[in-house]
Structure 1
């Protein structure tokens, strides 16, 4: 819809400008008294105006095309992320659950290291992919924050074995409780991103179907 409005605005705006200029020129300029030199000057001015209007039209058209291409690229990237995000969500949910359930076991520290390795199985989205999603800033921001949280969680779990305060079940339980809120926030950001990416994938599918039908 936005592209259609922009096209309408540029097309009829330039047309209205030429109508106004033509009317004023017809009413205010004494055409019969013009010399050959005057006609040359006015002809040059008219063609210069046409060239200027054409330049504006081409520039605005190219800008609209770049914007549309950027949005379609962002939607394609978003569509490609839906399954990856779903897997990332399931991994983070499993880690959040096991942090509590394993806190009282003797093998907790070893298992926590294994949980950190589970994050390696996540096909984490790159910064280049996030840059391509700039036309969808809300989703891009959510994904960037979720990415940072996931990597931070991995570093914390990897460093856990070096901490003296988690040598006891009480210390591990305290650590698990401290992790619950940031883990919930991370999972929430991933869930929100899934919904946003799925909506963009649906929008792209609807637009593609409409173009095919047209």
Structure 2
């Protein structure tokens, strides 16, 4: 659902509001019998106009501050997304490679080296809490979903590391296959969620570029 600020940020909506206000002003001007007003009536009208102008100015200042804050949050999110998009894709690709390796071990095609798998987890370029905070303004709960993905990756890595230390399953072939199945089942949801978040980040990036192109076109048209 759009907020009031987003509603009034639309150029078309602002144009409609200006036109409506102009037509309302003309209608009021034609309705008032100006020639028959007394000095006291003039004072009342001037006071009323001043009150309305003051109220409009107060509302404009309040919403202007909110618009500036919202624009700053969006710019920060855009800068953060610019640095994160390819890292998110790298994490998705890396997790997919780990899953394929575990699947191959499950089918008996390879003998998994779990220390090597743990090293691949260490190389994943995960995001920081500061970066997640900058993404809060993006729709579809991108920051929360990305936080879930990061925490899930860490938990899977800890799950594998614990098994490497304790070796409850991987001592024999059947146990290794059972362990690979458990690890793979944990990987699949986070791979899917990481891909969805990556798509939302690309959509956000492209929408910001389109908005900027639209504003640049308006500025060019106004200069011409």
| Shared fold (TM-score, shorter chain, > 0.5) | yes
Output aligned runs, 1:20-99, within 5 Å. Answer: 26=32, 31-32=37-38, 34-35=39-40, 43-99=46-102
Contact persistence 1:92–1:183 (CA under 8 A): yes
1:186 aligns with 2:186: no
1:208 aligns with 2:212: yes
Give me the whole-angstrom Cα distance separating, in 1, the residues matched to 2:23 and 2:137.
32
What corresponds to 2:202 in structure 1?
198
Name which structure has the greater RCO, CA cutoff 8 Å, separation 6+: 1
Equivalences, count: 208
Contact persistence 1:125–1:147 (CA under 8 A): yes
Tell me how far 1:44 sits from its aligned partner: 3.9
- TM-score, normalising length: structure 2: 0.74
In structure 2, list runs of 5 or more residues that go unmatched: 1-6
Give me the whole-angstrom Cα distance separating, in 2, the residues matched to 1:18 and 1:59.
24
Tell me how far 1:88 sits from its aligned partner: 0.6
Q: Which moved more, 1:84-93 or 1:64-73?
A: 64-73
Give me the whole-angstrom Cα distance separating, in 1, the residues matched to 2:29 and 2:115.
78
Quickly say closer, same or farther: Cα 1:206–1:53, change in 2 above 3 A: closer
Tell me how far 1:173 sits from its aligned partner: 0.6
- TM-score, normalising length: structure 1: 0.77
Give me the whole-angstrom Cα distance separating, in 1, the residues matched to 2:45 and 2:37.
10
Q: Which has the higher helix share?
A: 1
What corresponds to 2:154 in structure 1?
151
Q: Which moved more, 1:15-24 or 1:174-183?
A: 15-24
Q: Which secondary structure does the structure 2 equivalent of 1:135 belong to?
A: coil
Tell me how far 1:208 sits from its aligned partner: 3.3
What corresponds to 2:131 in structure 1?
129
Give me the whole-angstrom Cα distance separating, in 1, the residues matched to 2:120 and 2:69.
40
Tell me how far 1:124 sits from its aligned partner: 1.1
Contact persistence 1:72–1:204 (CA under 8 A): no
Q: Which moved more, 1:4-13 or 1:57-66?
A: 4-13
Contact persistence 1:3–1:64 (CA under 8 A): no
What corresponds to 1:174 in structure 2?
178
Q: Which moved more, 1:80-89 or 1:202-211?
A: 202-211
